[in-house]
Structure 1
Amino acid sequence: MVGRLNVYTISIFVALGGALFGFDIASISGVVGTDQYQKFYGNPLGTTQGSITGAMAAGSFIGALSSSFLGDKFSRKVSIQIGAVLWCIGASIQSASNGVAMLIAGRAIAGLCVGLTSALVPIYQTEIAPRKLRGRIVGFQMFAIVCGIMIQYFIQYGCSFINSEAAFRIPWAIQTIPAVILFISLFFLPYSPRWLASKDRWDEVLRVLAFLRTANGNPNDPLVIAEYREIEDQIRSEREANSNSFHELFSQKIRKRLFLSMAIQMWSQLSGINVMMYYIVYVLKSAGIANTRFAASIQYIINVVMTVPCLLWIDRWGRRPSLLIGAPVMSFWHFVIGGLLMRYGEPNPAVNEPETLIVVGHPAVSRTILACSYLFVATFAVSWAPISWLYPPEIAPVRVRAKSVAVATATNWAANFALGFGVPPLLRSISWRMFFLFGAFNIAAFINVLFALPETKQRTIEEMDEIFEHGEPLWKTFRAKGETDRLDKLARDIELYASVASKS
C-alpha cells in the first residue's frame, strides 16, 4: 500500500505540468468576453483573436518536438523542470504585455513549456506506474488539466469585476505559482526507472522500483525483481536490434503504433473540446444565454467531476470501449447544437461581434444548447480525455518512447493551433455548420478506433510488442479472464527459486 502511495504522490506532483495546460486554456476563455480585455487589446476579432489563442499551441508544437531530445538526454524530470522555467518567463511576459504582439510572444514562450510537459509528464507517469493502475496514474495528467482550467477560470471570473487592467494581469501572473511548485518538488522525486535503465544505471533502477512497489523499499521483493528483469530483457533486446531510433520510429514494426498515437491525439482535438473550452463564451452568446461567464463556470465544474469516474474505472473499463462509446455520443451533441442553431438562429444585428448568428426569443432552445454543451464536455471527460494522454506513451517501446510521444503530442498541438486560430473566423463565416463538421470528425474517430486500436489494459509496457504482433482480432488483444498474468508468474517463479535455494 505504501508503494502505491508513493506512486500516487509522485504522480500528483508531476501532474502540475498538466495543470499549466489547463491554466492556459482558461487564461483565454475567462477574459475574451470581458470589457477590460476587449478595450485594452483593441477588441480582437477573427484572425487576431485566433493568433492570440493559437500562439500557445504554436509554441507547444515546438516544445513537444524538442521533448524527444531533452527527455532522452537530460531525463524526463529535469526536462519538465526546464519547462517550468519557460512557463514562468512566458507568464510574466503575458502579465506585463503592452499590446497584442507582446501577449502573443509571452503565450508562445509559455507554450514551449506546455509542449514539453504535455509530452513528458505522461511518459514519466507511465514509466513509474504499476501495470494494473497505469490508466489511473496517467489519468492524473488529465485531472490536473481540468482542475487547472477550473481554478484559473474562477480566478479570471473573480478578477473580471476589477475595473482595470488588473482584471487580466493578476490571473496571468498567478499562473507562475504552480510552475514554481512543480520546479521545486521535482528535486525530491525519483528518476524514471526505464530512463535509468536506458543509461545503464541498474543499481538505481532496482532502488527506485523497490521504492515505488513496496512498503519498505525492499529490493528483494519478488515482484520488484520480476519487473526489474522485464525491463532488463527489454533493454537488452532493443540493443541487440541495434537500429537508429529515428529510423525505427517509421519502421514497419513501430509506425503502426506511431500513427495510432498521432491519430488518438488528433481526434481528441478534432472532437471539438477546445471549442467548448477556449470559446465557450462565444457559443453561449450564440445560444442566447444571458450570463455567459457564470454558465461557463458550471461547465468547468462538470469537466472536473466527470473526469473522476474515468480515473477510478479506466483500468477496468479498458481504453477501447471508452473511446468507442465516447466518440458517437459527442458527435450527437454536436449535431443537436448545430441543428438548433440552423433552425432557430437569426443574423446578429451587431456587426463587430464574434457571433454572426444568435438565438432570440426561444428560451427552451437556448437551454437545450446549454445542456448539450454540458453533456458534450461530460462525455469527453469520462471517455477520450484521459486516454488520449495515456495511450501514446504506454504503447511505444522505451528506445523510441520519447520520440514517438513527442511526434504524437506535436500532432495534438498542430491540431490545437489550427482550431485556436481557425474557430473565431469559422464562427463568423459558417456558424452552425462548424458543429456539423466536428460531429463528422467524431464519427471518423469512431471508425478509426474500431478498426485500428487494440486494448492495452492490465498489461505491462514491456508486453506491448506482444499485443501489436499477435495477429488476432482487436477485441481479443487483452488478457482473457483466468489467463495467467506473466509478471505475477515470473514473481512466483522467483519466489519459488529463492525458497528452494535457501533450503539447499
Structure 2
Amino acid sequence: MIGNIYIITAIAVIGGGLFGFDISSMSAILGTQQYRCYFNQGPNGPPFNDEKCSGPKSDVQGGITASMPGGSFVGAICSGFLSDIFGRKTSIQIGCIVWCIGSIIVCASQNIGMLVVGRFINGLSVGICSAQVPVYVSELAPPSRRGRVVGAQQWAITWGILIMFYISYGCSYINGTAAFRIPWGLQMIPAIILYIGLMFLPESPRWLAKKDRWEDCHGVLTLVHGKGDPNAPFVMRELNEIKQMVEFERQNADVSFFELFRPRMLNRLHIGVFTQIWSQLTGMNVMMYYITYVFGMAGLSGDTNLIASSIQYVINVGMTIFALIYIDRWGRRLPLIIGALLMATWMYANAALMAVHGSPAPPGGVDNVAEESWQIQGPAARAVIACTYLFVASFAPTWGPVSWIYPPELFPLRVRGKAVAITTSSNWIFNFALSYFVPPAFVNIQWKVYIIFGVFCTTMAIHVFFMFPETSGKTLEEVEEMFLNHIPAWKTRVEFQKIRRAEGGAVDDKEAAVKYDESPVRTEIAGEAKAN
C-alpha cells in the first residue's frame, strides 16, 4: 500500500484530468471542418472538404457542450451517497467505469443525439470524481500540505486540458470522422490508469473511523503521517481528534442530508456552494470551451486560432504551479479576493476594447461561424488576446485550485461527503447553464458578455471578504470548532507555521496541543458531549 501523500495525490487527481480532457476535446474540435460537417445543421453537409459547413446551430452547440456539466450535476449529487456507503476510493473507481462507458458512446456517435447522451454519461463520471477526489485527498493530507495536494486537482485539470488540446489539434489534420473519434476514444486511457492506481492506495482514515474500523484508521494514519511509527505524536493527535469528533457527532447530531440545511450548518453550506458557483461565474470555463470563438472575433482563424488558444492552456498549467507551492502559506481568503479583482479588471478591459474598437461581424459571422457576430482588428484585437491571457493567469493560482481546496475543509466528517457533493453539484449546474448560455449570448449581446462576468467578479470579491473564513493551517477538526465559535470571517488568519511545528512533533508543539485541547471551543464541545 502506498503511503506517500504526493504519490497518492498524483494518482487520485487523475480524476480531475478527466474534466480537463473533456473541456479541450470539445473546444479544440468544435472549430474543425470535420466536426462542423459531420454534425452540420446548415444547408451544406459532407463531403468534408466543403468549406461552407457551419456546424450545429448556436443553441444546439450550447446543448452539446452543456450535456457534460448537466451529467456532472447529477453525478455530483449521487456521489455523496456513493461515498458514504462504499468509501471515497471505491466511489472514484465507479466514476472511472462510468467514464469509459460514456467515452465509448461519444467516440461512436452517429448523430447529435448520441453525442449528447455520451457526453451526459461522461458528465456523471466527472461529477463523481470532481466531488470525491478533493474529499479523499483532504482527509488523507496533513494540514500544512492539504491545500497543495487538493489544489493538485486543478493542476491535473489544466494538464488534461493541455494534453487533449494538442492531441485534438494533431488529429485535426486527419481526414474524415477519425479527426474527432480518435481524441474522444483516447479519453478512456486516464480513467483506466486511475482505476488501477487506486487499488494501491489506502482508504480515507476519517471514513474508516466513521465505519468504526479504528485499527484500519490507525494503520492508514501511521502509513501516511507516521512513517511506520504508530505512536508518532502527530499520528496520535490526529487519531485522538478524530475519535473526539466522531464521538461528539454521534451524541449531538442527527446525521442526515437535511442536517446541512439546519441553522448550525447552513452558513458553511452557503459558503461552500458559493465558492463553486463563483468559480463558474468568473467566466473561466467559458473561456476554455469557447476560446476559439473569442479569438475568432479578434481576427484569428484556422491553425493560428488553435495555436493562440493553446497558449492560454500553457499559461493555465504554468501559473497553477504557484498555487501548489504557496497556497498553504497564502491561505484561502487572500487568493480569492485578489484573483476576483484582477479577473474583473481584465473582463472590463475586454468589454471596453470590444465596445470602442469593435464592430458587428458580416452576415453569417466570421469565417461562417455565427457565434462570432462581433469583430475587432488591429492593435485592439491584440489587446483583447493579451487581456484574455492575463485573465487566465489571474484565475490559475487563485480561484482555480482554491475552489476545490476550500469546500472539503468547511464541513465535519459526518456530512462531508454529502456536503461536498452539493457544493460540487452547484458548480456543475452553473457550468451547464453557462455552456448553454454563452454561444447565443455572443450572438445577441456580443461584447456585453464581458461586462456581465466583470460584475460577477467584483461581487465575489466583496462576498469573500465578509463571509469566507480562513481555513489554511488548521486541522479539519479545528475548522469545525472555528465555526462553532462564530468567529467573523475577516478576523480569521492563516496558521501555517503553527501546524507545521505540530506535525513535526516538537516538545513545544505537544504543549501547544495540550493548550489547544483545553481551548474554550474544545471545552465547549467536550461539555456538550458529556451533557448529552
TM-score range, shorter chain: over 0.9
Distance 1:246 1:363 in 2: 55
- The match for 2:333 is 320
8 Å CA contact retained: 2:472, 2:495: no
- The match for 1:111 is 123
Residue 105 of structure 2 aligns to which amino acid in structure 1?
I
Alpha-carbon distance, 1:494 to partner:
12
- The match for 1:339 is 352
Residue 469 of structure 1 pairs with residue 484 of structure 2: yes
- The match for 2:474 is 459
After superposition, where does 1:19-38 map in structure 2 within 5 Å?
19-38=17-36
Alpha-carbon distance, 1:275 to partner:
1.3
- The match for 2:155 is 143
Residue 290 of structure 2 aligns to which amino acid in structure 1?
Y
Alpha-carbon distance, 1:247 to partner:
2.6
Alpha-carbon distance, 1:444 to partner:
1.0
Alpha-carbon distance, 1:252 to partner:
1.1
- The match for 1:265 is 276
8 Å CA contact retained: 1:63, 1:111: yes
After superposition, where does 1:294-305 map in structure 2 within 5 Å?
294-305=307-318
- The match for 1:75 is 87
Distance 1:454 1:297 in 2: 36
Residue 189 of structure 1 pairs with residue 201 of structure 2: yes
Q: 1:480 to 1:117 in 2, by over 3 A?
A: closer
Greater Cα offset, 132-141 or 241-250: 241-250
- The match for 2:402 is 387
After superposition, where does 1:176-255 map in structure 2 within 5 Å?
176-215=188-227, 217-255=228-266
Distance 1:345 1:47 in 2: 24
8 Å CA contact retained: 2:473, 2:496: no
Q: 1:478 to 1:378 in 2, by over 3 A?
A: same
Say which SS state the counterpart of residue 400 (structure 1) adopts: helix
Alpha-carbon distance, 1:472 to partner:
3.9
- The match for 2:324 is 311
Q: 1:490 to 1:94 in 2, by over 3 A?
A: farther
Correspondence for 2:441 among 426, 429, 439? 426
Q: 1:491 to 1:329 in 2, by over 3 A?
A: closer
Q: 1:68 to 1:23 in 2, by over 3 A?
A: same
Say which SS state the counterpart of residue 263 (structure 2) adopts: coil
Alpha-carbon distance, 1:7 to partner:
0.5
Residue 53 of structure 1 pairs with residue 65 of structure 2: yes
CA displacement 1:439-460 (0-9 Å, x = unmatched): 0010111111011001111000
- The match for 1:156 is 168
Alpha-carbon distance, 1:486 to partner:
7.1
8 Å CA contact retained: 2:277, 2:426: yes
Alpha-carbon distance, 1:482 to partner:
8.1
Q: Could you list the runs of 5+ residues in structure 1 that have no partner in the other structure?
A: 497-504
8 Å CA contact retained: 1:322, 1:384: yes
8 Å CA contact retained: 1:287, 1:341: no
Q: 1:20 to 1:356 in 2, by over 3 A?
A: closer
Correspondence for 2:7 among 6, 9, 33? 9
CA displacement 1:151-204 (0-9 Å, x = unmatched): 000000110111211110000000000000001111111100000000000000
8 Å CA contact retained: 2:276, 2:426: yes
Alpha-carbon distance, 1:218 to partner:
1.3
CA displacement 1:415-457 (0-9 Å, x = unmatched): 0000111111111101100110000010111111011001111
CA displacement 1:204-234 (0-9 Å, x = unmatched): 001000100133x111112111111011111
8 Å CA contact retained: 2:330, 2:494: no
8 Å CA contact retained: 1:197, 1:231: yes
Residue 353 of structure 1 pairs with residue 369 of structure 2: yes
8 Å CA contact retained: 1:289, 1:366: no
Say which SS state the counterpart of residue 97 (structure 1) adopts: coil
Distance 1:157 1:31 in 2: 8
8 Å CA contact retained: 2:281, 2:457: yes
Distance 1:480 1:76 in 2: 28
8 Å CA contact retained: 1:223, 1:491: no
Task: Number of aligned residue pairs: give it.
Answer: 492
Greater Cα offset, 471-480 or 262-271: 471-480
Distance 1:346 1:307 in 2: 35
8 Å CA contact retained: 1:222, 1:491: no
Alpha-carbon distance, 1:492 to partner:
2.5
Distance 2:291 2:330 in 1: 30
Distance 2:218 2:118 in 1: 42
Q: 1:481 to 1:437 in 2, by over 3 A?
A: closer
Alpha-carbon distance, 1:75 to partner:
0.3
8 Å CA contact retained: 1:45, 1:424: no
8 Å CA contact retained: 1:226, 1:494: no
Residue 165 of structure 1 pairs with residue 177 of structure 2: yes
Greater Cα offset, 57-66 or 344-353: 344-353
Alpha-carbon distance, 1:321 to partner:
0.4
Alpha-carbon distance, 1:21 to partner:
0.5
CA displacement 1:253-273 (0-9 Å, x = unmatched): 111111100001000000000
8 Å CA contact retained: 1:16, 1:144: yes
- The match for 1:288 is 299
Q: Could you list the runs of 5+ residues in structure 2 that have no partner in the other structure?
A: 41-54, 515-532
Residue 400 of structure 1 pairs with residue 415 of structure 2: yes
- The match for 1:365 is 380
CA displacement 1:280-309 (0-9 Å, x = unmatched): 000000111241101001110000000000
8 Å CA contact retained: 2:474, 2:495: no
Residue 274 of structure 1 pairs with residue 285 of structure 2: yes
Correspondence for 1:378 among 384, 393, 401? 393
Q: In percent, how many aligned pairs have the same letter?
A: 47
Say which SS state the counterpart of residue 231 (structure 2) adopts: coil
Q: What's the TM-score once normalised by structure 1's chain length?
A: 0.94
Residue 241 of structure 2 aligns to which amino acid in structure 1?
E
